[in-house]
Amino acid sequence: MVMPIIDRYLIFYIRTADKLQRTARWIENLPGGIKYLKEVIVDDKLGICADMEKQMNELVDSYFCEWTETVKDPKRRKVFQQFANTDETVDTVEVVQERSQQRPTYWPKDSAGREDFKGHKWSSVSWQPVVRADHFSDEPPQVSSANVKRGDTQLAVFKIKGKFYATQQMCPHKRAFVLSDGLVGDDDAGKYWVSCPYHKRNFELNGEQAGRCSNDESMNIATFPVEERDDGWVYIKLPPIEELDSVLGTEKWKVRKGEAEDPFHKVDKKFKGMKGKKVTDGFLTRVPAVQPAKSIDW
């Protein structure tokens, strides 16, 4: 008897809750709260229990694991390769061991914001084929951006409304190699922007100010001319590899252990020596109130 009630509960939640609404808030907002919920899913006050169970059965029957499907399909798997132009993989952040597990090291204290990537003057540039144009696709699995490797440098290539744009892959804010995964949008002036998926620095992709950051003037990124040619390749106008790597190489900007302060250090220090006690002992009321942060340094 328990399973059908859980099924009804879940379907009633799916059908009536707001998007992303917590179940506790949802129940509080029901007219009559948990009492009403019981009347609906146990006593069948609305006469919909059979229907809700049917809906749950349909849901269970149509379920499939997207990840299993992806792992089985080489075409879909390719979308998750680090680079669109090579099977190589490169670490962009050092890994630390903690409690017998691995985790990436903390965010670096310093950004690469002081570097003027946008204004960098390359000694010479020439067109280089970097990725096949058919890597990008409007058909599922849709692909509108790519991370490509040249030398030790990572470049983000975007295809927007049939045209290509290229930038460095590293977001200067925390030296994260993620820009090809950013959300792309446009503005009223017809400019395209990529928003870093981590903390939403927005970088302009086209126009005279390409490379500038709209919400953090302390940083900018390098952009490069791109074109698709009849030979089926996307070409980017780039400097020689050594010069490119000396400015944007992964080894140069990789986030290393020990660069960042442990963000939990201050908290640990504050509560050092305190022992946990049962809530009934009034422990929670004796813990000094933590002041809300005035700003969060991401």
Q: Pick from 149, 150, 201, 212: which binds ligand FES (CB under 6 A)?
A: 201
DSSP letters, 61-82, are: HT---HHHHHHH-HHHHHHTSS
Using the contact rule CB under 6 A, the part of the chain among 61-69, 73-81, 195-203, 264-272 near ligand FES is 195-203
Of the two residues 113 and 239, which places its CB atom closer to ligand FES in the complex?
113
Within 10 Å of residue 93's Cβ, how many Cβ atoms? 19
Rounded Cα–Cα distance for residues 223 and 156 (Å): 9
Q: Pick from 176, 205, 222, 248: which binds ligand FES (CB under 6 A)?
A: 176
User: Which two three-digit tokens encode residue 239?
Assistant: 């400097």
171 binds ligand FES (CB under 6 A): yes
Q: Pick from 199, 214, 228, 246: which binds ligand FES (CB under 6 A)?
A: 199
Enclosing H/E stretch for 42: none
Using the contact rule CB under 6 A, the part of the chain among 82-90, 144-152, 171-179, 270-278 near ligand FES is 171-179
Q: Can you say whether the dihedral through the CA atoms of 161, 162, 165, 166 is positive or negative? A: positive
Minimum distance, C-beta of residue 73 to ligand FES, in the bound complex (Å): 31
Q: Pick from 196, 205, 222, 238: which binds ligand FES (CB under 6 A)?
A: 196
Minimum distance, C-beta of residue 211 to ligand FES, in the bound complex (Å): 14
Q: Binding residues for ligand FES, how many (CB under 6 A)?
A: 10
Helix 33-41 with 2-16: angle, nearest 10 deg:
120
Helix, strand, coil tally for the chain in percent (to 5): 30, 25, 45
Bridge partners, residue 227, by sequence: 235
Site for ligand FES, rule CB under 6 A: 171, 173-174, 176, 196, 198-201, 298
